[in-house]
Structure 1
Amino acid sequence: MAGNGRLSPLTFFAAIVFIVIGVLLAAGGAYLVALKGSWYYVIAGAAILLTGLLLLIRRRSALLLFALFLFASTIWAVVEVRFDFWQLMPRLWIWLLLAIWLLIPFVHRGALFGPPSTSRAARTPLAAAIILTLLLGVGTWFNHPHDRPGRIDVNVAADANQPDANAATGRAAGDWVDYGGSPLAQRYAPLAQITPDNAHRLKVAWTYRTGDMPGPDDPTETTDENTPLKVGDTIFLCTPHSKAIALDAASGKEKWRFDPRIQSPIGFKHWEHMTCRGVAYYDASMHPMPAAAAPEASAPAEADAASAPADASAPTEASAPVQTPAQTTAQAECPHRLFLPTADARLIALDADTGKPCASFGKNGAIDLRANIGPFTPGGYYSTSPPAVFRNLVIVGGHVTDNESNNEPSGVIRAFDVNDGHLVWNWDPGNPDATEPIAAGGTYVRNSPNMWSMFSVDEKRGMIFLPMGNQTPDQWGGERTPQAEKFGAGVVALDAATGKLRWNYQFTHHDLWDMDVGGQPTLVDLQTAQGTQPALIASTKQGSIYVLNRETGQPIVPISELAVPGGAAKGDHTAPTQAVSALNFNPPRVTEADMWGTTPFDQLWCRIKFRSLRYDGPYTPPSEQGSLVFPGNFGVFDWGGISVDPVRQILIANPDYMAFTSKLIPRDKIPEDNGEKKGSETSGIKLARGTPFGFEISAFLSPLGIPCQAPPWGYIAGVDLRTQKIAWMHKNGTIVDSAPLPIPMPLGVPSLGGTIVTAGGVAFLTGTLDQYVRAYDVRDGKKLWEARLPAGGQATPMSYADASGKQYVLVTAGGHGSLGTKAGDYVIAYTLQ
């Protein structure tokens, strides 16, 4: 029937909604066009606005126009992102709902001008457009364009019976004696009870709660990143507040705990972060002191990897002196020692059997790591990661607060005697040749590059490997010294007995993006076409996995120097090239079409933001305009590193892809009161006092707090090291714990913490932003099992066996403050049921 001359309330309301949406979309779209972006949004806004106006004047042509708009939008979306459901959905679902709403008879019928016969003609195209869009959604739901299926051809059952590749370390197969499993940092458990066939039967064996929860006066970035050790029948762990705890490995019952009662003159709230990644273990029977002084081996001349001499591989012997009576007494006092780094910059030696301080070590069982490094803001220097133990030495580095000033503590590496704690050698990147112990009143070079992550140790060759950070600040390098330029953002190899430089290889030149080498390098004997080579594998934030001969520092997998963008801030410069490994997880260059959002509106915001930033591809320098940094300083790989099965020659990794923004703020535009407004390591304004700029660093998020670049943001991946190729790669994890509604959408989420791999052919990961521990088949990445965790699991798990031979997987679930995962204090062991 013909219209009665009056709009129904529903039609009027629909018209107003369409008009408002159209105006907002057209205005935003016009701004995007001005930034040389897509014309789609201004055209879409005009079409929606006109639809609303046609509704307002009671014209059935509104339905025809919106049908045309939905058809065109669907085609545009497919052209931009092909058949990727998770990119198509945000572009189309709002328009689909509006079309369905418009098709409801009470919305469009009766109040519109025109004969009744035109009603069907108006509805049919709109219904067809709706059906087309729905069919596109259903069809693409089963498409997985970002997954890379594949399979590594190994016989899991047969390989499980091969000799333990870590047997040369002299450690029991059921133990996990170092942060990385062993000093080789392979994160490999030579245990085969859990297999791809039975992993689904894993159940909780025991749960322990440490009682250490974040408090109201703790920093935002209070994190539980601990990987426990297992030696004999005991589990050793540390907590964010630097407490050490020993548990029975079979039952999880507490044996002892030690509280160092960390102190701060200003409290902890204004610290950058608080964490303890682990402790270190020393057994005197495995590291006997020499009976007589050994002649000092001549260390190879200092050399870059590109010019390392042929004899750089020559092993050195520990040049420790004859054991003194005092050291003999100290060794008898605590033959089994646990070394605990604390958040107030102490290194404490505990009797691993009782939890009591070893009084003969340092002063009443502790060394003050503040010695000889000069002043710093409380919390601005301490060791967040466990030290390394090599023979009679305990070797420690330290975290230095990023971007606070250009006058921060030294990044010195120090080696202390394990028994009495006296300083044996020090390696300061600012003065690398002076390895003899510093004079009592001396000060190490301020602001030299630091090593905050975990060491790897080749005991056979007498070498220790350092994944290096940078001279602070990260985003402006106009004042960096030649030593800082040489040793930052790479791996340094030292003679472990003397601290003398063996070689170094830099992965990021003149780093302006916080591309610290966060992961502990993995040492493995690699099978290559040239024969077996002693390899070091370093995962990095930029995505390259560098594979070097650990004796010489020369690349095993080719590394190319590729041209990168220039144009640094005033007073600074950029490196003309950057090192890219042939084995890499480097993401492709991001484009405007990669901008994402839950709706077209936040997607439009992200497109405008993208076009407003400087972006010339990877290694775009920070700028006053604001630069897009992708990968961001969260990294493709961070401190979790990678795991390697040394028998099957398989590497398991969990790459992440999150873009960040970096903006330089001239000194005169930074409010004075910002001194109290610290962000976490990955967000907030950094003051960088003493330099021309402060920095604003943040994840590239929409106003709704979701990433602006499209998913997946996190994967699980396998590399066949025999071919040096990525064999398989699958998006990993859901947004169930990140989204406003707890819907387990399988988008693939970032993870912080690393993987482990076992002789049974199963890998494990807990670090995803959703609260799960998962098991994977190393051959193809198939998910075998998952279990819900009571809190965030941003730590690397481990696996061990009890006295009966039963295999366990041990997980720390304590959450991560700056990532917003749920806080907790859980240690959970799983075993087969």
Structure 2
Amino acid sequence: MAITLTALIIFLVGAALGVGGVWLAVLGGSWYYIFAALAFLITAALLFRKRPSSLLVYALLVIGTLGWAIWEIGFDWWQLAPRGGVIMLFGLWLLTPWIRGGLNEEEGRSRSAWGPAIPLAITVLAALGIAGYSMTQDPQQIAGELSKEVIIPTPDLGGNMPEGDWHQYGRTPYGQRYSPLKQITPENVGTLQLAWQYQTGDVKLPEDIGETTYQVTPLKVRDTLYLCTPHNWAIALDAATGKEKWKYDPNVGLNPDRQHQTCRGVSYYADPTLTAGQPCAERVYLPTSDARLIALDAANGQICPSFADKGTLHLEKGMPYNPAGYYYSTSPPVIAAGKIIVGGAVNDNYSIHEQSGVIRAFDINTGALVWNWDSGNPDVTTPLPEGQTYTHNSPNSWSVSSADEKLGLLYVPLGNQTPDQLGAGRSANVEKFSSSIVALDLNSGQVRWVRQTVHHDLWDMDVPAQPTLVDINTATGAVPALVGPTKQGDIYVLNRLTGEPILPIEEVPAPAGAIEGDFTSPTQPVSGLTFMPKPLTGKDMWGVSMFDQLACRIEFLKLRYEGRYTPPSLQGSLIYPGNFGVFNWGSVAVDPARQIMFGMPTYLAFTSRLVPRADVPPPGAGTKGSEQGLNRNEGAPYAVILAPFVSPLGLPCQAPPWGYVAGADLRTGKITWMHRNGTVRDSSPLPLPFKVGVPGIGGPIITAGGVAFLGAAVDDYLRAYDVTSGKQLWEARLPAGGQSTPMSFALADGKQYVVIVAGGHGSVGTKPGDYVLAYTLPK
């Protein structure tokens, strides 16, 4: 009975592999699955007849699969396992007494014990040995050590504040995410313990939009932390104890038209014309998801009525349209040169009738408009006259800008014009400024230089990250530099005064063949420091078994794919890296003394399929545009369906690792080390801590003590790393997803803390919560 049932199962496996294998071969893929199917079918036929030769045939399948797998991908266990896992399980079962002992060649002949099974046993043992060896290998890893040499002993950190404070999103207007504190070191970080925990009370509600998420980095001024929550509550905490000092709720309400319900941070300002203790001498500026900017007294959370309209600046003013929920701020404004400078997010791919992406500078005290830079009308930056509107649907800046007051420049990361995947009819200004870093004069808003990171963007490759400002030593001396991470994996290292490259930029050929009426750029830029992935091939397809791996191979060949910048198509195109980004708003952290960077490159492929307008279903529940699924692009000839490239089981079709930590030398552009980061503990049915290397969204920080801190991964941990080698030194289990960027501060007694906000991320599906957690060394 056992033999007959086994034979039937093996026959069904062979039949399924045969159908899929023929389909794959017809598409131009590997023929292995056809040969494997034949081996399964022959084994099944011989088992039905109880022939010992069935074990020999199966031994040939095991050794053939092993050779093929090693030829394809080497000794990477995470890729060997799906190729051979099912085959090994059947091989072990065939060696059991219930199968082996029931095989004979002729009726009535004595049954053999091990003779016909020896070849199969040898091949299975060999495969197990190879599997064990591959578990000790990591062919994807780059091992090395960054130099510990201090290149600039007293680097320019971009802000005048105590070492233990953190006054802006990236600590200073330079956005370095670097703390000069040294108390926590690689030697003692392993003893970090929870100092205090606070819960905001702002939790995700059933009626909230999907991407309701905590992405906030708290600020620290003297003895107080300031932060915001997804529904834009502003909160002040005692830095020593985590006790709440005040809370302000702007009552933004729930709006299903918003794509994002988040707040990455508030902005802090101390008015030098007022005496400490006077009302609103120190202010916290809160951006909201209903397009307001609210000035609050940092001492008590009360509204500062002298700013704008009784304390509130209404950002919808001057916009060409006014549908609620289609324009809002998710990132903290920049404060520099007596101005508060605001960008804004627009809903991607809802409609061609989008709000303007204008950048506006307001007087920090009064809220009066000082200048406005509208990329649709870039030469006129004087305040927009009453009754006029900004250019609709111009590239916007939803991320964080940086500023250098000494040079008088603001550095703005820009996105693309909606629809992201359709480029026909874009204006000359859109073609110039889309997906670029733009330097604006802080006093006038006039363009000083522009550096485009992708030409004629058809892939939603917004510049997502705050540019980091750092002085870099070159052969000709110290140069004021800008480090700009991008979704496509390039990190631009530019002279921030001129926009010219410090590390070389090369224009390389790019795929052609856009839809009729559109075009692609013949070349695309690649930076001298790049984390762009190698192009995918069939052998890079993955699954937990050979069946879903086969399905991914078939799907891969059905899609259009010609490498990075494959244009969107009606058949469906594979976009790799996808618009999730190698780097996103979390940016990178830079050590300005050692001239090195720490980052979290992520690799996920997406699919993009254009849908002719006539085939788009009418508006209704579940069909409104979003960043995944059907993006309606109302008013355009095509909608687009965007989705992660996943298997029938919902796992990435490309092989892991999907997430790394990495260190690079900013002077040479060399990636010195790169290691898998994160486990599948919180993203698999069983809580298994396998260090596969998982995706994440959020950002890192670096401390002068030589330690980097990062949450972000889709498992719920905060981790510490040795910046020099990338070795993980410590981790703390978080009560919710840690998709925010941590920060570090010190109290008056010199005690150093690390703080992270853990509230989860709606789009990536991590555990929601409302926690603020502070860690410090034991007394």
TM over 0.5: yes
Please name the residue that 1:283 is paired with.
Answer: 270
C-alpha distance in 2 between matches for 1:716 and 1:110: 53
SS across alignment from 2:529? coil
**Structure 2 matches for 1:655-666, cutoff 5 A?**
655-666=601-612
AA at the equivalent of 2:267: A
Where structure 1 has 5 or more consecutive residues not aligned to the other structure, the ranges are 1-8, 289-327
Structure 1 contact 331–419 (Cα < 8 Å) conserved: no
SS across alignment from 2:63? helix
**Structure 2 matches for 1:802-821, cutoff 5 A?**
802-821=747-766
**Structure 2 matches for 1:409-448, cutoff 5 A?**
409-448=355-394
SS across alignment from 1:44? helix
Please name the residue that 1:315 is paired with.
Answer: none
Structure 1 contact 60–119 (Cα < 8 Å) conserved: no
Tell me by how many angstroms 1:269 deviates: 3.4
Tell me by how many angstroms 1:746 deviates: 0.8
Q: 2:77 aligns with which of 76, 80, 85?
A: 85
AA at the equivalent of 1:169: G
Structure 1 contact 270–676 (Cα < 8 Å) conserved: no
Please name the residue that 1:764 is paired with.
Answer: 709
39-48 or 404-413, which deviates more: 39-48
Q: Which string of whole-angstrom CA distances, capped at 9 and with x for unpartnered residues, describes residues 150-177 of structure 1?
A: 012215xxx59944642x6211111100
AA at the equivalent of 2:420: D
C-alpha distance in 2 between matches for 1:463 and 1:332: 31
Matching of residue 692 in structure 1 with residue 679 in structure 2: no
**Structure 2 matches for 1:638-677, cutoff 5 A?**
638-673=584-619, 676-677=622-623
SS across alignment from 2:82? helix
Q: 1:151 aligns with which of 145, 155, 158?
A: 145
Tell me by how many angstroms 1:109 deviates: 2.4
Q: 2:134 aligns with which of 124, 132, 140?
A: 140
Structure 1 contact 685–694 (Cα < 8 Å) conserved: yes
Structure 2 contact 176–591 (Cα < 8 Å) conserved: yes
Q: Which string of whole-angstrom CA distances, capped at 9 and with x for unpartnered residues, describes residues 234-280 of structure 1?
A: 100000000000001111110000000013xxx42343121100011
**Structure 2 matches for 1:501-512, cutoff 5 A?**
501-512=447-458
Q: 1:635 aligns with which of 573, 581, 584?
A: 581
C-alpha distance in 1 between matches for 2:206 and 2:632: 24
C-alpha distance in 2 between matches for 1:111 and 1:604: 32
Length, aligned pairs only: 776
Tell me by how many angstroms 1:404 deviates: 0.8
C-alpha distance in 2 between matches for 1:218 and 1:330: 40
Tell me by how many angstroms 1:724 deviates: 2.4
Q: Which string of whole-angstrom CA distances, capped at 9 and with x for unpartnered residues, describes residues 391-444 of structure 1?
A: 321110000111111110000011111112111111001001111111121110
Tell me by how many angstroms 1:797 deviates: 0.5
Please name the residue that 1:457 is paired with.
Answer: 403
Indicate how the Cα distance of structure 1 residues 330 and 480 shifts in structure 2: closer, same or farther if over 3 A, else same.
Answer: farther
Q: Which string of whole-angstrom CA distances, capped at 9 and with x for unpartnered residues, describes residues 259-305 of structure 1?
A: 00013xxx4234312110001111112xx6xxxxxxxxxxxxxxxxx
SS across alignment from 1:343? coil
Indicate how the Cα distance of structure 1 residues 332 and 832 shifts in structure 2: closer, same or farther if over 3 A, else same.
Answer: closer
Structure 1 contact 217–268 (Cα < 8 Å) conserved: no
Indicate how the Cα distance of structure 1 residues 86 and 42 shifts in structure 2: closer, same or farther if over 3 A, else same.
Answer: same
Please name the residue that 2:658 is paired with.
Answer: 713
Q: Which string of whole-angstrom CA distances, capped at 9 and with x for unpartnered residues, describes residues 777-814 of structure 1?
A: 11111111111111110111000111211100010101
**Structure 2 matches for 1:206-355, cutoff 5 A?**
206-263=196-253, 267-285=254-272, 333-355=279-301
SS across alignment from 1:672? coil
AA at the equivalent of 1:691: A
Tell me by how many angstroms 1:723 deviates: 2.5
Tell me by how many angstroms 1:674 deviates: 5.0
Structure 2 contact 258–347 (Cα < 8 Å) conserved: no
Please name the residue that 1:323 is paired with.
Answer: none
135-144 or 105-114, which deviates more: 105-114
Please name the residue that 1:292 is paired with.
Answer: none
Q: 1:106 aligns with which of 91, 98, 116?
A: 98
Tell me by how many angstroms 1:329 deviates: 12
C-alpha distance in 2 between matches for 1:333 and 1:502: 38
C-alpha distance in 1 between matches for 2:152 and 2:379: 46
**Structure 2 matches for 1:515-526, cutoff 5 A?**
515-526=461-472
SS across alignment from 2:547? helix
C-alpha distance in 2 between matches for 1:225 and 1:80: 40
Q: Which string of whole-angstrom CA distances, capped at 9 and with x for unpartnered residues, describes residues 3-40 of structure 1?
A: xxxxxx21111111101111111101111111111111
SS across alignment from 1:221? coil
Aligned-pair identity in percent equals: 53
SS across alignment from 2:11? helix
Q: Which string of whole-angstrom CA distances, capped at 9 and with x for unpartnered residues, describes residues 669-688 of structure 1?
A: 1111457434642x211001
SS across alignment from 2:114? helix
SS across alignment from 1:169? coil
AA at the equivalent of 1:277: R
Q: 1:62 aligns with which of 33, 36, 54?
A: 54
Please name the residue that 2:414 is paired with.
Answer: 468
Please name the residue that 1:382 is paired with.
Answer: 328
Please name the residue that 2:122 is paired with.
Answer: 128
SS across alignment from 1:433? coil
Indicate how the Cα distance of structure 1 residues 17 and 679 shifts in structure 2: closer, same or farther if over 3 A, else same.
Answer: farther
C-alpha distance in 2 between matches for 1:105 and 1:96: 17
SS across alignment from 1:273? coil
Structure 2 contact 680–689 (Cα < 8 Å) conserved: yes
Matching of residue 554 in structure 1 with residue 500 in structure 2: yes
AA at the equivalent of 1:696: I
Please name the residue that 2:40 is paired with.
Answer: 48
AA at the equivalent of 1:448: S
Indicate how the Cα distance of structure 1 residues 20 and 138 shifts in structure 2: closer, same or farther if over 3 A, else same.
Answer: same
**Structure 2 matches for 1:720-739, cutoff 5 A?**
720-739=665-684
AA at the equivalent of 2:117: R
**TM-score normalised by structure 1 residue count:** 0.91
Root-mean-square deviation (CA, aligned residues, Å) is 1.6
C-alpha distance in 2 between matches for 1:215 and 1:653: 32
Where structure 2 has 5 or more consecutive residues not aligned to the other structure, the ranges are none
C-alpha distance in 1 between matches for 2:581 and 2:411: 21
Matching of residue 583 in structure 1 with residue 570 in structure 2: no
C-alpha distance in 1 between matches for 2:620 and 2:39: 46
C-alpha distance in 1 between matches for 2:409 and 2:120: 71
SS across alignment from 1:486? helix
Q: 1:201 aligns with which of 168, 186, 191?
A: 191
Indicate how the Cα distance of structure 1 residues 678 and 803 shifts in structure 2: closer, same or farther if over 3 A, else same.
Answer: farther
**Structure 2 matches for 1:590-629, cutoff 5 A?**
590-629=536-575
C-alpha distance in 1 between matches for 2:623 and 2:217: 31
Q: 2:181 aligns with which of 169, 186, 191?
A: 191
Tell me by how many angstroms 1:330 deviates: 14
**TM-score normalised by structure 2 residue count:** 0.98
C-alpha distance in 1 between matches for 2:152 and 2:237: 30
Tell me by how many angstroms 1:368 deviates: 0.9
Tell me by how many angstroms 1:502 deviates: 0.9
Tell me by how many angstroms 1:705 deviates: 1.1
Matching of residue 513 in structure 1 with residue 459 in structure 2: yes
Indicate how the Cα distance of structure 1 residues 605 and 224 shifts in structure 2: closer, same or farther if over 3 A, else same.
Answer: same
